[in-house]
């Protein structure tokens, strides 16, 4: 999932669309523009491809049109394939949400705490359905990301509480030796918070997608 990709680059025209790959990788911030997976999360080489938003089998004249080229993971590319809505579908709002114009999440869809993404508009449903954005790997990744966000919030609250406690204890150290014991307990809480931090940044390991 992404917040929308705005084109920034203007490469000179090429006769082979594959030559745009370095520009597209940068343009799409090294992520799949549909599922949001970053290159660093891919386990194998060749996990990303150039996709024709308007399929080249239907829009041959746009095969090397830079604005029609998107950077995607192979799973999303395989799911989307040469699908494109007909005029009747478009009249019903059934079309792909263009990630270069707007984000899917927000107006067109929302992410549940389970990690599933649910449609709010016909375009959202069309996009989620055809690109299969509720693939098991993606749902697992979103759920883990949500859980990490919650853990991060808990960690911040705990660190704030520890800082407050230290501020209250510090003046006592001068006149009350017992405060040393209290400070030791605060130290233990701080150690626990640091362990939580380490766990928070452990790399996510999720299983590969089933074949689309």
Return the number of the residue (23 or 70) whose C-beta is nearest Zn ion.
Answer: 70
- Compute the residue count for the chain: 212
- Nearest approach in angstroms of CB 103 to Zn ion is 15
The answer for 183, left when phi > 0, alpha when psi is -120 to 50, beta otherwise, is alpha
Token code pair at residue 154: 């808990």
Return the number of the residue (32 or 119) whose C-beta is nearest Zn ion.
Answer: 32
Residues in touch with Zn ion (CB under 5 A): 32, 34-35, 73, 76
In the block, residue with structure tokens 């808990």: 154
Token code pair at residue 141: 């990744």
Token code pair at residue 74: 């192979």
- Nearest approach in angstroms of CB 45 to Zn ion is 16
Pairing of strands 69-73, 48-52: antiparallel
- Nearest approach in angstroms of CB 6 to Zn ion is 19
Return the number of the residue (73 or 105) whose C-beta is nearest Zn ion.
Answer: 73
- Nearest approach in angstroms of CB 202 to Zn ion is 23
Angle at CA of residue 147, ends 73 and 96, nearest 5°: 35
Return the number of the residue (138 or 193) whose C-beta is nearest Zn ion.
Answer: 138
Return the number of the residue (48 or 193) whose C-beta is nearest Zn ion.
Answer: 48
- Nearest approach in angstroms of CB 182 to Zn ion is 51
Cβ atoms 212, 75 nearer than 8 A:
yes
Task: Give the start-end residues of each E strand in the chain.
Answer: 48-52, 69-73, 109-111, 117-119
Return the number of the residue (34 or 96) whose C-beta is nearest Zn ion.
Answer: 34
- Nearest approach in angstroms of CB 133 to Zn ion is 8
Alpha-carbon distance 85 to 94, whole Å? 7
């Amino acid at each position: 999932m992404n917040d929308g990709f705005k084109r920034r680059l203007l490469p000179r025209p090429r006769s082979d669309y594959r030559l745009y790959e370095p520009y597209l990788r940068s343009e799409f911030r090294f992520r799949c523009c549909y599922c949001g997976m970053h290159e660093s999360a891919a386990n194998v080489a060749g996990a990303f491809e150039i996709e024709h938003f308007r399929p080249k089998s239907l829009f041959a004249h746009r095969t090397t049109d830079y604005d029609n080229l998107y950077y995607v993971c192979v799973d999303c590319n395989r799911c989307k394939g040469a699908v494109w809505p007909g005029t009747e579908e478009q009249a019903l709002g059934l079309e792909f949400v263009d990630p270069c114009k707007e984000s899917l999440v927000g107006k067109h869809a929302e992410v549940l705490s389970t990690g599933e993404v649910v449609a709010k508009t016909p375009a959202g449903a069309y996009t989620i359905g055809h690109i299969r954005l509720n693939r098991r790997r993606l749902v697992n990744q979103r759920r883990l990301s949500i859980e990490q966000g919650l853990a991060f919030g808990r960690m911040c609250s705990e660190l704030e509480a520890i800082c407050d406690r230290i501020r209250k204890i510090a003046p006592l150290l001068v006149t009350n030796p017992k405060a040393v014991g209290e400070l030791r307990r605060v130290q233990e809480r701080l150690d626990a918070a640091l362990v939580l931090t380490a766990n928070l940044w452990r790399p996510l390991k999720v299983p590969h997608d089933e074949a689309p």
